[in-house]
Chain A
């Protein structure tokens, strides 16, 4: 039963994007091992092409969900297959579809055993992650959210490093334990909203009593904070990253970590605005701790992957900080930071993977002095590393700057703490670059240091393009988000004005705000 027509010509783009990888995975079961790589790459590129119309046809003037498809799934209690995108989820969907082909490409030579199963896991992973971003029904969201654990568990556990089994089960249990509370919270929302619907839009419109919001907030927090991961729930991340194969690390860092932050934006803020206001300070404190702690830990690492893993903790701290300052600049900065982190950290993991294929070591001491034998590689590494630092002109800058702007408006101390993280980021990244890129190559490695193959250049170049594009001209990205973020912020603001007394810091009106953001973009130009 279809009860709503689809927008934009009615073609079910989202269903196509979600289930094409799954169909590809099913098809892969039938082909030969040797063909698996090509089929998987072909499927993932098709998915990427299918996701382009979303970007091109997206209407930036409305906060409503677009490309909506709704079908009855279970009649009673009403569970629906409902998908759609808005300005918050669209960038993340595109991020996923861009990165999956790259993950397949980077695994071309490095995965030699059970290639078929590997590719199936990657494609199932793509279905699940895109599914989470586009799901508009709570149960559907949860189904995709949990489904993703299995392929990721296999990716880490089968093709990972020496300690892979431990890392895989740790990853699985941490995230599962967090997300069981998500399911209970969803059911509670369903019962208390009394609308007989799991639709996220319906659940967002209902109001819940403050005591219930408080409980639900922490239940959602448990699920999303583990996934982000926020300090102190981050301990699974370094293990998982270090043991996972390159493609696994990329997916984990670029896509999986975004799901937690996306959950905050989709559930905690719109559904529980009172609780979000009430507890924002706590989350901000944890975010700042994560920013500083992650950066300090990154300083101490001698393993490249672990260094990037801890830098992820730090960077994701900016995301949660931006979300919970609860103003438009902060949230837009957070979403942009999510995309940036996906691009930059994904690229850094690709770089480490490429290096590991040559030297079979991720230790910084083994991989030094790359500038001379591998000039092209060193160039890319420097680009992505500087983007991670947040150098103006690159993507990292815009996101972090917006988050800091937003934070200064709300809470100066938090912003100061976060700014300290930027300085520390410069320290660990530049120190890493100094050791890896400059100096003399380690003698026993010198013969192994070949520069990039054209395929590898092909993988890194699009990401480098995105780094500069978003860095120099972030407006297309930000325009996509404006309407959706505005609605989110106004829901928060309306709660404040209903509450006690005058509002101290209303979010900037749309016009001044876009002016500010345009400024931020301008400031990004060298």
Chain B
């Protein structure tokens, strides 16, 4: 197969990331230990280059390789978000990996490879390409989850993630093969044409659609496909957890939204009910089970499930055949906004957990936060900010995200869904505020009072400052981000 060289320019960011990943992996063995940070900085530089390329090339839809891959504003939005999250993860990891004594530079290589997979996912206009992207995203993540290779829990996390991830990939691939049988092609445009012709009377299309939803349901951790999440998130190194909870979820949502709207847009009245069911289950289970967690990472795992439920509201709105015009773009843009906001506050929260890893203290148990407000006022204040934002209380970014989601829902005539979502937000405040309570209102025991040092590396400070500034700025002045997401939304 031949293709014009110009197509390579279209996927320039992907190429940069892959080359950087290979360079990191190749240079790792010959880099002296004290120079290893340089590889991390090289990765950050590659991400910066990608950011510039993507940001400057934002605009009309460009297809490449016979329209297997498209670059449009929508894909670019997700890519920019993914660069930022990856960059923050790398910066957070520089100090954290040393603290965990697993500072191998392969870490950054795998992370970049995973990022490349995510970029392919959000740019894919063909189900096989998207599938390829999910695999490229997942396999390095399996390794990263088990990166604390001396700890049984991390290995368990990796194994669980691998088995369930492979299983969900199988379902996804099965769905792709069925739709190929029905439509004779795996391109989203062809699928849309075939679906429009036959509708859901064809059992093949119906089965394929459901399998795809299940496959993506695993990737975004929607209930009832969420079972892997708590164990994997808890066992994985904290910076990897942040990356999984944010980047892989964002990329999967990006791909899911495109598949459902561009591939199955013609039968949207058939799948919105299904997504709505998933959304309600996810909201309910995520929020209710989070209440009983005593481990912060586990709590955040359930909270990330709950937030997937909120993001699904955006998909429901986008697919809902409502009474008011513009619900598609309103739904997609509110979901994009929500995930961007979610990325900021979740990375921030995990960064705080990561720097609590000190000496012998794991730092992820709720008790480890006891009295943090006395010893480290700044860190406690930031955690307060992230928790308040996760609970969706103004004037933080979390509120803005929820406001736009629910405005979309009401506009589509789904007022009851907004009410349900907000009631669960009130429930979520209970477990987020418990973190605040432990930090501010509980007296530390003598031994907790002794472990005062934090693993606060300069790069971790950058991560915390960036996340906090983002949460506050988007909360107080959301205009630019809102305008950006609505301009990049799928029509």
Closest to B441 in A: A157
CA distance A76 to B441 in the complex (A): 41
Interface centre among B324, B388, B441 (most CB of A within 10 A): B441
Q: Does A461 contact B (CB under 8 A)?
A: no
Contacts from A to B (Cβ < 8 Å): 73-77, 117, 139, 142-144, 146-147, 149-150, 153-154, 157-158, 164-165, 168-169, 172-173, 176-177, 180-181, 183-184, 187-188, 190-191
CA distance A184 to B414 in the complex (A): 11
Contact B441 A165, beta carbon cutoff 8 Å: yes
**Which of A139, A158, A172 meets B429, CB within 8 Å?**
A172
Q: Which of B350-380 contact A (CB under 8 A)?
A: 373, 377
Contact A165 B422, beta carbon cutoff 8 Å: no
Contact B394 A143, beta carbon cutoff 8 Å: yes
Chain A contact residues, majority secondary structure:
helix
Closest to A120 in B: B381
**Which of B415, B430, B479, B486 meets A184, CB within 8 Å?**
B415
Contact A158 B394, beta carbon cutoff 8 Å: no
Interface centre among A73, A139, A183 (most CB of B within 10 A): A183
Chain B contact residues, majority secondary structure:
helix
**Which of A150, A172, A184 meets B418, CB within 8 Å?**
A184
Minimum CB–CB distance from A111 to chain B (whole Å) comes to 15
Contact A191 B410, beta carbon cutoff 8 Å: yes
Contact B399 A187, beta carbon cutoff 8 Å: no
Contact A176 B441, beta carbon cutoff 8 Å: no
Q: Does B423 contact A (CB under 8 A)?
A: yes
Contact A74 B482, beta carbon cutoff 8 Å: yes
Minimum CB–CB distance from A513 to chain B (whole Å) comes to 39
Given contacts A190-B407, A191-B410, 15 further A-B contacts (CB under 8 A): A74-B482, A77-B407, A146-B393, A147-B395, A149-B393, A153-B433, A157-B440, A169-B434, A180-B422, A180-B423, A181-B419, A183-B406, A187-B403, A187-B418, A188-B410
Contact B437 A191, beta carbon cutoff 8 Å: no
Name the A residues within 8 Å of B425 (CB-CB).
180
Contact B411 A191, beta carbon cutoff 8 Å: yes
Q: Does B163 contact A (CB under 8 A)?
A: no
**Which of B415, B422, B423, B483 meets A188, CB within 8 Å?**
B415
Name the A residues within 8 Å of B373 (CB-CB).
117
| 19 sample A-B contacts, Cβ–Cβ < 8 Å, listed by A number | A77-B407, A143-B394, A143-B395, A143-B399, A149-B393, A157-B440, A164-B441, A169-B433, A172-B433, A173-B429, A176-B426, A180-B425, A184-B406, A184-B415, A184-B419, A184-B422, A188-B415, A190-B407, A190-B410
CA distance A164 to B443 in the complex (A): 13
Closest to B415 in A: A188
Closest to B438 in A: A165
Contact A147 B419, beta carbon cutoff 8 Å: no
- On whether A75 and B483 interact (CB within 8 A), knowing A150-B393, A169-B430, A173-B426, the answer reads yes
Minimum CB–CB distance from B272 to chain A (whole Å) comes to 19
Minimum CB–CB distance from B222 to chain A (whole Å) comes to 23
CA distance A163 to B292 in the complex (A): 21
Minimum CB–CB distance from A33 to chain B (whole Å) comes to 11
CA distance A177 to B392 in the complex (A): 12
Name the A residues within 8 Å of B415 (CB-CB).
184, 188
Name the A residues within 8 Å of B399 (CB-CB).
143, 146
Interface readout for B389-422 with A: 1 if CB under 8 Å, 0 if not?
0000111000100010011001100010011001
CA distance A150 to B168 in the complex (A): 41
**Which of A76, A157, A177 meets B423, CB within 8 Å?**
A177
Closest to A175 in B: B426
Name the A residues within 8 Å of B440 (CB-CB).
154, 157-158
Contact A187 B407, beta carbon cutoff 8 Å: yes
Interface centre among B373, B399, B419, B426 (most CB of A within 10 A): B426
CA distance A169 to B442 in the complex (A): 14
CA distance A74 to B423 in the complex (A): 26
Minimum CB–CB distance from B427 to chain A (whole Å) comes to 9
Name the A residues within 8 Å of B430 (CB-CB).
169, 173
Contact B394 A142, beta carbon cutoff 8 Å: yes
CA distance A117 to B426 in the complex (A): 25
Q: Does B478 contact A (CB under 8 A)?
A: yes
Name the B residues within 8 Å of A177 (CB-CB).
423, 426
CA distance A158 to B442 in the complex (A): 9
Name the A residues within 8 Å of B411 (CB-CB).
191
Minimum CB–CB distance from B433 to chain A (whole Å) comes to 6
CA distance A157 to B437 in the complex (A): 7
CA distance A139 to B479 in the complex (A): 14
Minimum CB–CB distance from A262 to chain B (whole Å) comes to 18
Return the 6 tightest CB-CB contacts between A and B, nearest first: A180-B422, A143-B394, A177-B426, A187-B410, A157-B441, A176-B426
Name the B residues within 8 Å of A147 (CB-CB).
393-395
CA distance A64 to B149 in the complex (A): 69
Interface readout for B458-485 with A: 1 if CB under 8 Å, 0 if not?
0000000000000000000111001100
Name the A residues within 8 Å of B426 (CB-CB).
173, 176-177, 180
Minimum CB–CB distance from A385 to chain B (whole Å) comes to 33
CA distance A180 to B426 in the complex (A): 7
CA distance A244 to B224 in the complex (A): 42
Name the A residues within 8 Å of B486 (CB-CB).
76
Name the A residues within 8 Å of B406 (CB-CB).
183-184, 187
Closest to B410 in A: A187
Closest to A72 in B: B479
Closest to B423 in A: A180
CA distance A117 to B440 in the complex (A): 11
Minimum CB–CB distance from B22 to chain A (whole Å) comes to 43
Name the A residues within 8 Å of B436 (CB-CB).
153-154
Name the B residues within 8 Å of A190 (CB-CB).
407, 410
Contact B482 A184, beta carbon cutoff 8 Å: no
Contact A74 B478, beta carbon cutoff 8 Å: yes
Name the B residues within 8 Å of A191 (CB-CB).
324, 407, 410-411
Name the B residues within 8 Å of A157 (CB-CB).
437, 440-441
Name the A residues within 8 Å of B437 (CB-CB).
157, 165, 168-169
Interface readout for B147-162 with A: 1 if CB under 8 Å, 0 if not?
0000000000000000
CA distance A486 to B393 in the complex (A): 35
Contact B410 A184, beta carbon cutoff 8 Å: yes
Name the A residues within 8 Å of B479 (CB-CB).
73-75
Minimum CB–CB distance from B18 to chain A (whole Å) comes to 38
Closest to B440 in A: A158
Closest to A150 in B: B388
Name the B residues within 8 Å of A74 (CB-CB).
478-479, 482
CA distance A524 to B430 in the complex (A): 48
Closest to A164 in B: B441
CA distance A154 to B486 in the complex (A): 37
Contact B482 A181, beta carbon cutoff 8 Å: no
Minimum CB–CB distance from A190 to chain B (whole Å) comes to 7
Interface centre among A154, A158, A180 (most CB of B within 10 A): A180
Name the A residues within 8 Å of B394 (CB-CB).
142-144, 146-147
Minimum CB–CB distance from A369 to chain B (whole Å) comes to 36
CA distance A181 to B406 in the complex (A): 12
Name the A residues within 8 Å of B478 (CB-CB).
74
